[in-house]
Structure 1
């Protein structure tokens, strides 16, 4: 069972140069992703006089996030594994592929990257607000929670299949684009209902800068539950339990 391989790690790991470099890579990747993803929404809203809540706006958001995540994962893959998402890091932790100590470093870096990206966007746009994630009319927090669980399950399952599985072979080459595509597809599916976050850091950055926290817990609990389910399912049913633990530099 994956639970038996969960590792806490040693306190010394928090100051190890490799761990710090990996955390820095996560910070930069998250900054790139949020700046491009959130910024595209702000740009579309400005160009259409706040018409971002339209079918065209949804498609634009899906494409921008898919492209940005593809790049963000790619540039961090050889250093940190290219998680670019606290939920992905949590899924890797549940599967025993990263220690708790390194996970905490990643989470701090990812959250800081999202906040800095939103601050830079607010400054560079002359004070335009970075819109926090929110529920659409008629969508309850429980509806949104299920959306976030299912969408994040799909994301982390894709991560496991294309990046974590030791049997991935040449398919690992397309991992970044597959991860970007599933996020873009999920935005098309859930964006009109709850914004389709799938990423607590992506929700956290705009919430901090705009100081809007209504229903914010959904964007943490849903992704973490979805990530944990995906990790357990893939580990139990598809990964040979006799394989050696992957190096943390891979995932």
Structure 2
């Protein structure tokens, strides 16, 4: 029994939900970019202005994450869908180490599946936007792209922490992330591709086998997550409390596998049976 104890601690439904959610996010993101910005875009006929089309694209692709968050998949896993987000919650003491590793694996695998499905379905259309690969814009130095990805990831995670640390704001977190990410994509996509998500960049890069400058997207966002955690902890000096939940949309009647959760949630016994609805301190 001791030999299999590590296996029993794993939370496969949550990992599967995170995998499917990340696959959906990447598929929708690549599909939106393909149809709105790719060759023979039907939207280009109606809206020739590339800035307007980029804003619409941002609203569409940024909406995929919040949709997952409010779905049963997201209510179960927390809908991190981003290794930087999971890393930030772990650094804040909200995740077990084995769950962090499993979430990261699920996110990267889900991104590969989502990117592969988008390329398989859209083929030439996807190829016209380089299969959604994130890359620095022409003429922008690599250091500026790194700083933008790092800084905006820090902003995103800090905003998430501020919302999920408030009972009043926590249920509005998906809406906030949708609007924030849409605005970021609209303004920053021509410069860095506005990934803010190592898995989102890794999936298309692996499918296309394109690795030039991809180290930027793998390293910048985790560093941004580390900065966000440090900034959030410094806010405790001015009265900001701890993160209440590691879910972007906390539904009390869904199981919660995270640590130090202070939002109302179900309590279960060792067999997973419902005991009571309570708030864990």
Q: What's 1:20 paired with?
A: 12
Worse-matched range after superposition: 109-118 or 42-51: 42-51
CA distance in 2, matches of 1:46, 1:189: 21
Q: 1:100: Cα distance to partner?
A: 2.1
CA distance in 2, matches of 1:244, 1:173: 11
Q: What's 1:161 paired with?
A: 162
Q: Equivalences for 1:99-110 in 2 at 5 Å?
A: 99-110=96-107
Q: Equivalences for 1:100-249 in 2 at 5 Å?
A: 100-126=97-123, 128-129=126-127, 130-163=131-164, 165=165, 168-238=166-236, 239-240=240-241, 248-249=257-258
Q: What's 1:48 paired with?
A: 41
TM-score by length of 1: 0.84
Structure of greater relative contact order (alpha carbons < 8 Å, 6+ residues apart): 1
Q: What's 1:4 paired with?
A: none
Worse-matched range after superposition: 69-78 or 203-212: 69-78
Which of residues 81, 87, 102 is equivalent to 2:84?
87
Contact 1:154 1:182 in 2 (8 A): no
Q: What's 2:30 paired with?
A: 38
The one-character-per-residue Cα deviations of 1:170-212 (angstroms, maximum 9, x if unpaired) are 3111111111221111112211101000000110111011111
Task: Provide the alpha-carbon RMSD of the alignment.
Answer: 2.6
How many residue pairs end up in the alignment? Answer: 236
CA distance in 1, matches of 2:231, 2:6: 29
CA distance in 2, matches of 1:179, 1:49: 28
Q: Structure 1 unaligned runs (5+)?
A: 1-10
List, as ranges, runs of 4+ consecutive aligned residues in structure 1 with deviation greater than 4 Å. 11-15, 49-53, 243-247
Contact 1:70 1:176 in 2 (8 A): yes
Contact 1:131 1:210 in 2 (8 A): no
What SS is found at the alignment partner of 1:169?
coil
TM-score by length of 2: 0.76
Q: Structure 2 unaligned runs (5+)?
A: 247-255, 262-281
Q: What's 2:65 paired with?
A: 69
CA distance in 2, matches of 1:37, 1:96: 30
